[in-house]
Amino acid sequence: MLWYVVVGLLLIGLVAAVVKLFYDVFVIARQELENFFHRRSPLSQQHREILQEYSAYYRLLAPEDQKRFERRLQRFMYSKKFVTRGFKVVTDEMRVLISASAIQLTFGLPKIYLANFDRILIYPDSYYSNITQRYHLGEVNPRAGIIVLSWKSFVDGYANLKDSLNVGIHEMAHAIHFENRIKNKEYDFLDNGALQKLAEITRREVPIIREGNGHFFRDYAGTNAYEFFAVSLEYFFEKPLQFSEAIPDLYDTLKKLLNQDPVALYQGR
């Protein structure tokens, strides 16, 4: 009699596990299918309004470029999984504006969606990283395929457009740097001549920053070549005119590398 009970319970357990498995597969498949259609749909009016309100870059674009920006943004947004850490709901503002910072950087390039990075982790504020054992405002982990951002710092970067601090641009700059070297469908999309020139200028400028006698960039750019690149792109988008006057060869190199010119954009050309 006891055997019947044991076998019965095992069978019930097995059926429950199979049902759960099918349900999980169904949920994932439905989500994937939804994302597939979303990626090909136009940006919603609600999301466009978020761009209009908060993205100065988007507002500066010509109408036809705004349309192109929206298509790319929609595709990026529905290709990534946004995950919260320490709070519950990912808002539309988070999804739209984080995606917009990636599209801003890659807008002059062929369609680049940072394929290696499929998850975006959002913390409410600065967070403690177990990898570096320090507090961070953001980081990228190419092996795990994640981009991490503090939402508070991200918003601060947007709120003050000309302070040349922008965590969104900074982390996306790291991400495209890695993406260019990872052998996937988006491999090697940055201009090699411009990359070489960038490496030369980095070798010239980093020691000057480290001397600490004043440099156009903040000190953090002197940490290493990666941080130099990420910080230089924050200045590229936030203080383009001063940048182009302070370090013209670097400005021109970044202009060539990203195939876009924020000075011209600000001047409405």
CA angle 60, 174, 222 (to 5 degrees): 100
Q: Are residues 189 and 109 in contact, defined by beta-carbon separation less than 8 angstroms?
A: yes
- Nearer to Zn ion by Cβ, of 80 and 136: the residue is 136
Output the residue with the shortest Cβ distance to Zn ion.
230
231 binds Zn ion (CB under 5 A): no
230 binds Zn ion (CB under 5 A): yes
Q: From residue 218, give the alpha-carbon distance in Å to each of 188, 223, 226.
A: 29, 10, 14
Question: How far out from the chain centre does Cα 15 lie?
Answer: 42
- Nearer to Zn ion by Cβ, of 70 and 139: the residue is 139
Element spanning 139, H or E = strand 138-141
* Segment lying near Zn ion (by CB under 5 A), choices 10-18, 43-51, 182-190, 230-238: 230-238
Contacts with Zn ion: how many residues (CB under 5 A)? 2
Q: How far is the CB of 231 from Zn ion (least distance, A)?
A: 8
Q: How far is the CB of 206 from Zn ion (least distance, A)?
A: 14
* Interaction residues for Zn ion, span 200-229 (CB under 5 A): 227
Q: What 3-state class would DSSP assign to 117? A: coil
Q: How far is the CB of 107 from Zn ion (least distance, A)?
A: 21
CA-nearest of 42, 154, 146, 34 to 100 is: 154
140 binds Zn ion (CB under 5 A): no
Which spans of this chain sit near Zn ion (rule: CB under 5 A)? 227, 230
